[in-house]
């Protein structure tokens, strides 16, 4: 009889819980706004917010201690107010977790699914409980939130979230849990496949970063070579940039050996480590392969081979490759830019300006093209246009020593003309 009297009155509790909904919603909205300012990732995450439904809340209350269940005041649960941060890659999860720890007062971090074996099919997720900061507290005077109210922030990848949603419907919300082994194996297999997909996506992401570093290095080496040949560099002794570490990105490539992607990786590594003959050979092998690569692929490979020829002082062959690259992809603004650099190196400033014009027409926000065109105008004695281009490069954020050197030269020319 005593235990029956301690059972919570469901309707009274429902009304009490409903009275807090405006408060919950305000906290939820303010917390999500704060999260969007706190979390910074290369790929913007998506956010899902929810207030726990009363039915779910009530079921959980019934499982708590009898004194909590019989309470006439709101019993706070850690997941009443929840926000899910859904990220693209596994690496993002640690980044978000650290950003949350730096921005909030974290009371608990739970890693769901870490203790599961490969035969199990529960979902994986990082749950971070945070205290509500002052700026996210509700402006409504009543009802007052319990002092120990927290917000649960869940961090997942897109695939983890997809599986969690399905698992929630099939397992958590269902009164039936699969007991037969074949069905359990199927569920575990699906979960394992999604986990493997997340790992593979992260491996590709890691590889892309390494590849981008190699591409950036090769491009910067090309620019430094152009500065050296044209005598426009401010750097002492006009030294070449140091070569990257000898470790090959080919070894970490997720691509199948012998494919175009794999050959491109091998060529780029040879290119960046100074083995230019090998790089040219592989680029040529790709271009002559059967079936012939698509035009857009040919354009990219021709551009790379042109840069390798340039590094070998084979300017005519370099120029020919850049022209072919443009023919295969007329929207390739960088190929026009590189073509202009070769013309400039050869002393053909008028054709260089035409190439830079074409590059700017396709992409008006590439600051280095304005700088290069300014150099050509300077060499032709058109100082007003050179200064205008230098100003444009400056507005686009170019603050290099070489640009400052050119500006100094221009100022001297203007002083001499007064």
Over range 57-66, report the average pLDDT. 79
Look at residues 6, 16, 18, 25 and name the one whose alpha carbon lies nearest to residue 73. 16
Residue 242: is its pLDDT beyond 50? no
User: Phi then psi for 109, rounded to 5 degrees?
Assistant: -130, 125
CA dist list (Å): 312 to 226, 277, 280: 12, 9, 10
- Render pLDDT for 138-181 as a digit per residue (tens, 0 to 9): 887 788 898 899 999 999 999 988 888 877 677 655 555 555 66
pLDDT for position 241: 45
CB count, 10 Å around CB of 195?
18
Residue 281: is its pLDDT beyond 80? yes
Query: What is the average pLDDT value for the chain, to the nearest integer?
Result: 84
Distance CA 302, CA 297 (A): 9
Asked if 122 contacts 112 with a C-beta cutoff of 8 angstroms, the reply is yes
Query: pLDDT class for 185, splitting at 50, 70, 90?
Result: confident
pLDDT for position 26: 95
pLDDT for position 67: 59
What are the strands of the beta sheet with 46-51, ordered from one edge? 46-51, 81-87, 150-157, 125-131, 106-112
Query: What structural domains and CATH numbers belong to the chain?
Result: 2-177 (3.30.460.10), 200-363 (1.25.40.10)
Helix or strand or coil: residue 126?
strand
Look-up of token digits 């709101």: 74
Task: Quote the tokens at residue 232.
Answer: 């426009």
The length of the chain, given as a count of residues: 418
Task: Quote the tokens at residue 180.
Answer: 């037969």
Over range 249-257, report the average pLDDT. 47
Q: Report the first-to-last Cα separation within the chain, whole angstroms.
A: 106
Task: Quote the tokens at residue 79.
Answer: 């997941």
- Relative to beta strand 106-112, strand 125-131 is antiparallel
Residue 312: is its pLDDT beyond 50? yes
Over range 373-401, report the average pLDDT. 94
pLDDT for position 66: 56
More confidently predicted of 196 and 82: 82
Distance CA 19, CA 80 (A): 14
Burial profile 209-227: b = 16 or more Cβ within 10 angstroms, e = fewer: ebbeebeebbeebbbbbbb
Distance CA 240, CA 243 (A): 9
Distance CA 144, CA 132 (A): 13
pLDDT for position 118: 45
pLDDT for position 266: 85
């Amino acid at each position: 009889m005593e235990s029956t009297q301690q059972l919570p009155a469901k309707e009274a509790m429902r009304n009490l819980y409903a009275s807090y909904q405006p408060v919950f919603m305000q906290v939820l909205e303010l917390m999500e706004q704060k999260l969007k300012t706190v979390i910074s990732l290369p790929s913007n995450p998506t956010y899902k917010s929810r207030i726990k439904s009363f039915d779910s809340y009530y079921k959980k209350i019934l499982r708590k201690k009898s004194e909590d269940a019989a309470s006439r005041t709101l019993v706070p649960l850690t997941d009443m107010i929840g926000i899910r941060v859904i990220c693209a890659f596994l690496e993002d999860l640690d980044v978000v977790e650290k950003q949350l720890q730096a921005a909030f007062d974290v009371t608990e971090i739970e890693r769901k699914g870490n203790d599961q074996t490969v035969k199990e099919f529960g979902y994986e997720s990082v749950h971070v409980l945070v205290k509500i900061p002052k700026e996210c507290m509700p402006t409504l005077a009543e009802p007052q939130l319990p002092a120990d109210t927290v917000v649960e922030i869940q961090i997942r990848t897109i695939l983890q979230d997809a599986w969690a949603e399905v698992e929630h419907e099939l397992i958590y919300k269902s009164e039936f849990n699969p007991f037969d082994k074949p069905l359990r194996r199927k569920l575990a297999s699906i979960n394992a496949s999604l986990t493997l997909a997340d790992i593979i996506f992260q491996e590709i992401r890691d590889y892309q970063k390494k590849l981008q570093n190699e591409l950036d290095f090769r491009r910067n080496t090309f620019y430094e070579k152009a500065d050296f040949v044209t005598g426009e560099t401010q750097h002492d002794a006009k030294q070449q940039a140091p070569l990257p570490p000898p470790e090959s990105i080919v070894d970490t490539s997720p691509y199948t050996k012998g494919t175009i992607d794999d050959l491109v990786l091998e060529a780029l590594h040879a290119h960046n480590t100074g083995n230019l003959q090998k790089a040219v050979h592989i680029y040529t092998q790709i271009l002559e392969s059967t079936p012939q690569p698509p035009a857009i692929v040919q354009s990219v490979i021709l551009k790379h081979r042109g840069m390798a020829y340039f590094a070998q002082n084979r300017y005519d062959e370099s120029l020919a490759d850049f022209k072919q690259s443009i023919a295969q992809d007329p929207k390739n603004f960088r190929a026009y830019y590189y073509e202009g650099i070769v013309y400039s190196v050869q002393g053909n400033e008028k054709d260089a300006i035409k190439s830079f014009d074409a590059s700017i027409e396709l992409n008006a926000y590439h600051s280095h093209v304005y700088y290069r065109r300014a150099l050509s105008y300077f060499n032709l004695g058109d100082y007003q246009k050179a200064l205008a281009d230098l100003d444009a490069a400056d507005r686009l954020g170019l603050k290099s020593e070489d640009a400052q050197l050119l500006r100094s030269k221009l100022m001297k020319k203007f002083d001499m003309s007064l």
